Structure 1
Amino acid sequence: LEYAGLIPHQALFTPPGSPHQHLPYVVTTVVVGVGLYATLAFTVRAFAGIYERQRRELVRREQALSRLSAKLLSTREEERRQLAGRLHDELGQTLAAARWALAAGSPQEADQLLGQAVELLRDLARELRPPLLDELGLEPALRHLVERFSAASGLKVELELTLPRGRLPRRMETALFRVIQEALENVRRHAGASRVEVRLGVEGGKLVGEVRDDGRGFDPGGPEGVGLPGLREWMSGVGGSLEIESTRGKGTRIRFWAPLPSPV
């Protein structure tokens, strides 16, 4: 303390009985006490700041989880509604026509209509969980999906797949398949496109995919993009992300990515 200039040199050699005899010790005690108090106050303040940041982060994550759960419920409800609509509109009408054919004494026509109903049910089952996805894996299932889509829509589809060797986890394969399937369905319904590009491969240790069309484009927040938030939920469920870029008159680009898992 003397060296630092906090205590006068003479104070250390004050004669006994002097009123300043204990001054160095008092000053030392005060300085040490103030230092300890400042250190303690700084430590408490630092811990309080860390606690507050962690508390805010926890609240943010809870709110995000709540929003995600609500979106998942909404997406599932929308999928159920679409399935119910197809069952009612397509299957219901076909079965009703078969019943009328039987009532009119046309068993052959009724048999044809029942065959159409069976094929429709098979199509719905394939859309929910295509057998090729379970039996052969993601790449054959996607190639089959694109072939059927192109044949049904008349659109030219450029497909580029550079997937890793081996099978991906089932949940990952399902998510990637459904995202591409729903993106193509959105193109068919709304895009008015003449050409579609589908790409899925490995980039920088991640699985990266893209569905791009040259259609009319749309507002992702408008009614034409109602089913698209569900695509984000599929990717979020496997630790990935998805972004949608679309401008009126300039087409749409859906890009998605997820961590590359170990092959199974």
Structure 2
Amino acid sequence: MSLFWRIFGLNAVVLGTATALLLWAPVTVSVPVLLTEAVILVCGLVVMLVANAALLRIGLAPLDRLTKLMTRVDLLRPGQRLPVTGHGGVAELIRTFNAMLDRLEAERATSSARALSAQESERQRIAQELHDEVGQSLTAVLLGLKRAADQAPGPLRAELQQVQETTRESLDEVRRLARRLRPGVLEDLGLVSALTALTNDFATHTGLKITRHFAADLPPLDAQTELVLYRVAQEALTNVARHAEAERIELRLRRTTGAVVLHISDDGRGIGIGREGDGIRGMRERALLIGATLEIDTGTTGGTHVSLSAPTAKKPVPTAQEEDADHG
């Protein structure tokens, strides 16, 4: 039944019932109307309006559910759908809305894959330039400063050594930035070694105490899944340093049935109820890229808990290069 006929039928039931009561009820209306008769008529009108409102609420309940879903739907949290029952106009509307969400989520996953692939390529290019150009230039400056300091008189030698030390610190910082942009350890030694190096470097520069727990039975993962796990851990640690005011962080990597779970928790102030920032939405986009599930909440004892469950067997989202090859 279409929405028009559903509303028409509900009103027809109410008006038909009211008409039947007027025809067969032993009630007459005097002229002028008596107080008791006016009370009966008003009560009848109220009952009719209440019945009409109740029936309309029941009939339009699917539209209310659809409206609420529209206000809270988020393409970074896929799978939000309404159940479809019947074959009327409302059911067809819900079915069409669910199909639209399917298309939007698929398009969002593909566009996110393209954007993240381009982002990683740009990071690798910048890291390479930092390592090759800036790093080599600073190394040359260091060698020149050393030669100048060896030949300089005492007071000037001390100043040149100070500049040399500053340049060496800048070189170390450039190398650290290059490692953050392009985790070479991840490509060469795998996820566990990369996370170990990441947390060690993070603890050194922030002073936070980080404990790690890596399961011994971790399954082999493809390069894309390892990169997503690494980037989510990197962003979660960065958020802790910037916003959490924490002192301790715990990082766990364990295996479950059909998935690998990365869990990061801290003892800070929690995430609150505010709007999610770009960092968290970036983590959700990366999770969507590999079909993973990301949960971020505040624990019962405070702090923030980030949990990423990455499936070990997944259907990969096509990248820009793969789509171009298919079309070619």
Instruction: Tell me whether the two structures share a fold, i.e. TM-score over 0.5.
Output: yes
The amino acid across from 1:259 in the alignment is: P
Shift of 1:210: 1.0
Shift of 1:206: 1.1
Q: How does 1:82-161 map to 2 (within 5 A)?
A: 107-161=160-214
- Kindly indicate which of the two structures has a greater share of residues assigned to helix: 2
- Identity percentage of aligned residues: 33
CA contact (8 A) 2:270 2:298 kept: yes
1:226-258 CA distances to partner (integer Å, 9 max, x unpaired)?
Answer: 411111111111110201103798211111111
The amino acid across from 2:192 in the alignment is: E
Q: Which residue of 1 aligns with 2:267?
A: 214
Q: Which residue of 1 aligns with 2:258?
A: 205
Shift of 1:183: 0.5
Shift of 1:112: 3.4
Q: Which residue of 1 aligns with 2:99?
A: 58
Distance in structure 2 (CA, Å) of the matches to 1:220 and 1:166 = 36
CA contact (8 A) 1:244 1:253 kept: yes
Distance in structure 1 (CA, Å) of the matches to 2:217 and 2:301 = 36
Q: Please, which of 235, 250, 254 is the counterpart of residue 302 of structure 2?
A: 250
Q: Which residue of 1 aligns with 2:281?
A: 229
Distance in structure 2 (CA, Å) of the matches to 1:184 and 1:130 = 15
TM-score (norm 1): 0.61
Secondary structure of 1:179's aligned partner: helix
Q: Which residue of 1 aligns with 2:241?
A: 188
1:74-129 CA distances to partner (integer Å, 9 max, x unpaired)?
Answer: 9x6xx98xx9xxx9xxx9xxx9xx9xx99x99654444333333222211111012
Change (3 A) 1:151 1:120: closer
Larger radius of gyration: 1
Shift of 1:151: 2.4
- Please, which runs of 5 or more residues in structure 2 have no aligned partner? 1-85, 149-155, 315-328
Q: Which residue of 2 aligns with 1:11?
A: none
Distance in structure 2 (CA, Å) of the matches to 1:239 and 1:222 = 23
TM-score (norm 2): 0.50
Distance in structure 1 (CA, Å) of the matches to 2:108 and 2:262 = 25
Change (3 A) 1:156 1:111: closer
Distance in structure 2 (CA, Å) of the matches to 1:240 and 1:246 = 20
- Please, which runs of 5 or more residues in structure 1 have no aligned partner? 1-44
Change (3 A) 1:139 1:221: same
The amino acid across from 1:252 in the alignment is: T
Secondary structure of 1:255's aligned partner: strand
Distance in structure 2 (CA, Å) of the matches to 1:143 and 1:215 = 22
Alignment length, in residue pairs?
Answer: 201
- After superposition, the CA RMSD in angstroms is 4.2
CA contact (8 A) 2:210 2:248 kept: yes
Shift of 1:222: 3.7
CA contact (8 A) 1:72 1:230 kept: no
